Amino acid sequence: MWQSLIDACVDACQALYNQEIKADIVHIQKTNAQFRNEADLTVMVFPLVKFSRKAPEQTAQDIGNYLKNTVDYVEDFTVVKGFLNLKIASSFWILFLQRNFNDTRFSIQETDSSLAPIIVEYSSPNTNKPLHLGHIRNNLLGDSISRILKANGKNVLQVNLVNDRGIHICKSMLAWQKWGNGETPESSGLKGDKLVGKYYVLFDTHYKQQITELIGAGIGEEEAAKQAPLIQEAQTMLERWEAGDTQVRELWKRMNSWVYSGFDVSYASMGISFDKLYYECETYLLGKNVVQKGLADGVFYKKEDGSVWIDLTDEGLDEKLLLRANGTSVYMTQDLGTAVTRYEEIHPERMIYVVGNEQNYHFDVLKKVLKKMHYTWADSIRHFSYGMVELPEGKMKSREGKVVDADDLIAEVIETARQTTLELGKLENFDSEEALNLFRILGLGGLKYFILKVDPLKNMMFNPKESIDFTGNTGPFIQYTYARIQSLLRKSDKEIGALNVSSNININEEERELLHLCSDFDRILHLAAEELSPAHIANYTFELAKQYNQFYQRITVLKEDNQELREFRIALSHFTAIIIKNGMSLLGIEVPQRM
């Protein structure tokens, strides 16, 4: 409907003013709440005034008359200053429901595998510590973006680049060598990623002690950080790793295998999966080849110490290191190699990197370096930058062990869901297995929704207790609404088949508003894909659930005496539930059949 109205406004300008206008000039929105009894949609007339060469009110009057006379579902209109408010005929809403109420994939497109893939890279963990709260936001955003793009028919390739080498990995390895005494996940009872993370923290503790001792001996803080024996040993270990030292490589493989096993458990609990895994140990050498090509082409330059750089001062940036003097790689080396290899292998439409906003500069440099090297596809790179997530206690610090472990947080929200559900008495003859599954669905739903409802660009604070609430803008509120509808449908004893109702039955404002919201799902789904924002889906789904609850509380459904109205309201409930389920699925959230 939205698009057909836009097209009709374009036609109106041609017919009334002999002016050809582009569709993107026409802006339509839901009518302001104070006029909702009079109209459903509002056309912003101000952008059209330069074509009509008339006052906004007269332009709105002209276009309103045109639409009323040519568009069969525009019942009436009113003009308020430069705003054209349109009343959509009840018959349109009834026909809309008849056509769509049983479509379980309403507005969801099938993936077109013939399209060039869109690569969505997310997660990208380091193998020196377990996943934490920041990783949760990253994974949930990457997963949801992928789902939204797929629902718009895009061919999506979900990838994870595991940062499995580098100085940070060597720190954990060195600490385990020195103080581990052969400890393993089996001997300690710890998940592998948590065990390795324990030694990363231990390295930092001893490293800081050494720095303090050197400062006490009269060495400056910056120099002390470089001279500390531990960091020098870690750097030597990295050089040995890059040289292929057998002993170092065997320890690296062993400890990384512990971490991967731990990651697998965490990903499974979040419902996260990938189509392809990349490993930095394989991509950093590819980057070195790209650096050598840049040197040969005169795009990069080498300093006296042997390090390789690029000068980006003409781009408003600075000089950027691409290869250290000792020949070891930096993150930019890896990302150059990965980007070039992916493009040559896959020829994607876009490459979307889901990475926090602290890396804005890094990805700005990446694109500029690729452009300097005359890779014309550099503009297909999109850094999906998102804000940081904190807890009420403050920021997290991995090196000091002050992080919110992802596994612990998931366990906490599930336990909170259990306590809240029991307190509210929302279990209907559930056996123990069903109850545990419900707690899991509600806990994860609360966690995912709380994070995804926030504009990705914004920093956010996550409060586990606030996320598990059956009132307000929360996942459990939406999940409970879905379960309520399923209960109503079971009690109706009606097979949801054809809807045989007259197009002139009298529907009320609650029903119109609910239908209006249902029809808006298609537009919201496209908007979420265009802006890469799961928040659009999350907040739309909440508004739909909220509107259904108002409808449910004010309107009789199963006890309605008029059979036609009863069937209409059951079908409307069924359709609303379909869209709620689809909306939540785009966020990676399950909905319970009963509560």
pLDDT of 398 > 60? The answer is: no
pLDDT for 264 equals: 97
Would you place residue 286 in the very low, low, confident or very high pLDDT band (cuts 50, 70, 90)? confident
The pLDDT, as a whole number, for residue 425 is 83
Q: Which of the listed residues 390, 420, 447 is the one where a domain comes to its end?
A: 390
CB < 8 Å & 24+ apart, contacts of 395-401: 396/132, 396/133, 396/134, 398/129, 398/132, 398/197, 398/200, 399/200, 399/201, 399/204, 400/201, 400/204, 401/197, 401/201
Q: Which single residue is written with the structure tokens 């997530």?
A: 389
What local confidence, expressed as pLDDT, does residue 17 receive? 95
The per-residue pLDDT for 156 is 98
Cα 222 from Cα 236, distance rounded (Å): 19
- Are 341 and 377 in contact, with CB atoms under 8 Å apart? no
Arithmetic mean of pLDDT, 566-595: 96
pLDDT above 60 for 397: no
Q: Is 387 helix (H, G, I), strand (E, B) or coil?
A: coil
**Domain identity same for 232 and 353:** yes
**Within a domain: residue 48?**
yes
pLDDT of residue 396: 40
On whether both 247 and 288 belong to a single domain, the answer is: yes
CA distance 560 to 374: 69
Q: Inform me whether the pLDDT recorded for 394 exceeds 60.
A: no
Please check whether residues 151 and 74 belong to one and the same domain.
no
The confidence score (pLDDT) of residue 466 equals 86
Whether residue 379 is found in the same domain as residue 508: no
Residue of higher predicted confidence among 64 and 326: 64
pLDDT band at 501 (very low <50, low <70, confident <90, very high): confident
Q: Please check whether residue 110 lies inside any domain of the structure.
A: no
Mean pLDDT lowest for which of 174-188, 192-206, 362-376, 419-433?
419-433
* pLDDT, greater one: 189 or 166: 189
Which tens digits make up the pLDDT trace of 503-525? 778 898 899 999 999 999 999 99
pLDDT-based confidence at residue 400 (cuts at 50, 70, 90) = very low
Number of domains in the chain: 3
Contact, 356 vs 363, CB < 8 A?
no
pLDDT (tens digit, 9 = 90+) per residue, 78-97?
999 889 999 999 999 999 99
Same domain, 465 and 381: no
Rounded mean pLDDT of 346-356? 97
- Per the CB < 8 A criterion, the answer to whether 14 and 20 are in contact is yes
For 252-368, strand residue ranges (E) read 276-279, 301-302, 308-311, 319-323, 350-356
User: What's the CATH code of the domain at 423?
Assistant: 1.10.730.10
Asked if the structure places residue 113 within a domain, the reply is: no
CA–CA separation, 397 and 391 (whole Å): 12
Percent of the chain with pLDDT over 70: 97
User: Rg (Cα) of the chain, in Å, rounded?
Assistant: 29
- pLDDT of 378 above 70: yes
Half-sphere exposure of 510 (CA within 13 A, CB side): 16
Segments forming the whole domain that contains residue 39 = 2-88
Report if residue 299 sits inside a domain. yes
* CATH value at residue 142: 3.40.50.620
The 8-class DSSP code of residue 347 comes to -
Most confident among 413-422, 424-433, 574-583 (mean pLDDT): 574-583
Closest CA to 352 of 376, 380, 387: 380
Q: Are residues 371 and 336 in the same domain?
A: yes
Is residue 399 included in any domain, yes or no? no
pLDDT in tens, 109-163: 999 999 999 999 999 999 999 999 999 999 999 999 999 999 999 999 999 999 9
CA atoms within 13 A on the CB side of 587: 35
226 and 294 fall within a common domain? yes
Indicate if 292 and 239 belong to the same structural domain: yes
Is residue 568 located within the same domain as residue 533? yes
Q: 375 is written with which tokens? A: 């890779």
Average the pLDDT over 262-285 and give the result.
93
Residue 329 and residue 447 in one domain: no
Q: Is the separation of the CB atoms in 501 and 88 below 8 Å?
A: no
In this predicted structure, what is the pLDDT of residue 261? 97
| CATH code for the domain of 36 | 3.30.1360.70
- Please identify, among 64, 88, 112, the residue that sits at the C-terminal boundary of a domain: 88
Report pLDDT for 395: 47
End residue of a domain, out of 88, 104, 134? 88
114 within a domain of the structure (yes/no)? no
Looking at the fold, whether 224 and 357 belong to one and the same domain comes out as yes
Query: Do the domain assignments include residue 93?
Result: no
Q: Which of 376-385, 405-414, 489-498, 500-509 has the lowest mean pLDDT?
A: 489-498
pLDDT at 469 over 60: yes
Binned at pLDDT 50, 70 and 90, residue 545 comes out as very high
Beta bridge partners of 353: 121, 383
Write phi, then psi, for 324 (nearest 5 degrees).
-70, 165
The average confidence (pLDDT) of the chain is: 92
Given a cut of 60, whether residue 55 has pLDDT beyond it is yes
pLDDT at 228 over 80: yes
Whole-number Å distance between alpha carbons of 98 and 502: 10
Task: Answer yes or no: is pLDDT of 320 > 60.
Answer: yes
Assess if residue 401 is contained within a domain.
no
**In the predicted model, is pLDDT for residue 440 greater than 70?**
yes
Return the pLDDT at 401.
44
| pLDDT the model gives residue 487 | 93
Per-residue pLDDT at 389: 86
pLDDT reading at 392 higher than 80: no
**Are residue 246 and residue 193 in the same domain, yes or no?**
yes
**Residue-level pLDDT at 108:** 97
- pLDDT, residue 35, reads 80
